[in-house]
């Protein structure tokens, strides 16, 4: 913990206020105060990565929660052999993200099945998903929603099993429809579960990295660069460890803010 967690965290925090390129050695560390943070405000690549991360969060988190809620309700009430189906839905989440990203890269490629299906439906010039700046980020967001679906379904399924059966019996006696029962009984009863998933998914969305690295490397033209990838690129491609640490500190503050929000919520009775 001291060597691989505590020291790197403290050292990274200190580097956020310095100018250091690693290659020159520790003797060349130069204290620059808040210069890195002032540069960050004018850095168009940082701002682009930040905006991309916000867009990614605003699409992936609600998308995975909504799709996960609908899927979990359908599995809970209508599916045959529920446990086995939940296991199948959970497999993408526990699969190696690098392997999953490679598979989706093949699906999106010009010789992949998605392009083939679009051409068979009459689309003469289907989009080049990962090479088109307008399609690259939405393509990764779709993959991320699919990958997170199993986890969301698992948590929602646990919440559904905790809803008292008496609530549904009372709703049936009142003659409500299945849709009304879902909206007025199921969804309110899962409020705490939804809040937990919302916080954890938002935190995860700001730490997304592997699929960006494997599928697009932040391109094309920075269209898929997010904060975590920008930290990696700045540090290990341009060797600006001081500036990268400053960006990492901003990312840390965003994540810790949502973490504290979750803790404060859990402390309430």
| 165 and 217 together in one domain | yes
Question: Do the Cβ atoms of 127 and 142 come closer than 8 Å?
Answer: no
Residue 200: count other Cβ atoms within 10 Å of its Cβ.
Answer: 18
pLDDT in tens, 1-22: 999 989 999 999 999 999 998 7
Per-residue model confidence as pLDDT tens digits over 91-116: 989 999 999 999 999 999 988 999 99
Residue 80 or 58, more confident: 58
The predicted-structure confidence for 204-228, as pLDDT tens digits, reads as follows 999 999 999 999 999 899 999 999 9
Percentage of the chain beyond pLDDT 90 is 65
Whether residue 142 lies inside any domain: the answer is yes
Residues 102 and 202 in one domain: yes
Domain span at residue 118 reads 44-240
3 within domain boundaries: yes
d(CA 141, CA 235): 25
- Residues 124 and 60 reside in one and the same domain: yes
CA distances from 65 to 146, 197, 202, 212, 265 (A): 11, 8, 11, 21, 19
Interval 40-57: pLDDT, tens? 999 999 999 999 999 999
How far are the Cα atoms of 143, 144, 225 from residue 54, in angstroms, in the given order? 17, 14, 11
Q: What is the mean pLDDT of the chain?
A: 90
Together in a domain, 49 and 61: yes
- Position of tokens 């359908």? 74
Amino acid 28: pLDDT: 85
Distance CA 38, CA 178 (A): 55
DSSP 8-state secondary structure symbol assigned to residue 112: S
Interval 120-147: pLDDT, tens: 998 888 999 999 999 999 999 999 999 9
Q: What is the pLDDT of residue 65?
A: 96
Shared domain check, 173 and 58: yes
Taking the mean position of all CA atoms in its chain, how far away is CA 134? 19
**Is residue 267 pLDDT above 60, yes or no?**
no
70 in a structural domain:
yes
Q: What is the 8-class DSSP label of residue 182? A: I
């Amino acid at each position: 913990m001291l060597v691989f967690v505590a020291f790197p965290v403290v050292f990274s925090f200190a580097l956020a206020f310095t100018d250091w390129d690693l290659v020159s050695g520790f003797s060349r560390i130069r204290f620059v105060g808040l210069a890195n943070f002032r540069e960050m405000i004018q850095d168009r690549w940082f701002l682009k990565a930040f905006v991309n991360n916000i867009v990614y969060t605003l699409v992936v988190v609600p998308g995975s929660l909504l799709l996960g809620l609908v899927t979990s309700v359908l599995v809970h009430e209508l599916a045959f052999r529920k446990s086995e189906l939940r296991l199948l839905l959970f497999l993408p989440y526990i699969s190696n993200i690098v392997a999953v990203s490679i598979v989706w890269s093949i699906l999106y490629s010009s010789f992949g099945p998605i392009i083939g299906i679009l051409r068979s439906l009459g689309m003469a010039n289907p989009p080049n998903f990962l090479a088109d700046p307008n399609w690259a980020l939405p393509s990764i967001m779709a993959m991320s929603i699919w990958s997170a679906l199993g986890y969301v379904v698992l948590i929602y399924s646990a919440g559904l099993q905790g809803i008292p059966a008496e609530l549904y019996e009372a709703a049936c006696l009142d003659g409500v429809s299945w849709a009304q029962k879902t909206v007025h009984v199921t969804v309110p009863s899962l409020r705490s579960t939804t809040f937990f998933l919302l916080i954890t998914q938002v935190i995860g969305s700001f730490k997304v990295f592997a699929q960006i690295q494997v599928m697009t490397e932040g391109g094309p033209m920075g269209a898929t660069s997010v904060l975590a990838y920008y930290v990696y690129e700045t540090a290990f491609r341009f060797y600006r460890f001081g500036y990268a640490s400053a960006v990492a500190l901003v990312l840390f503050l965003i994540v810790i803010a949502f973490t504290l929000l979750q803790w404060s919520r859990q402390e309430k009775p």
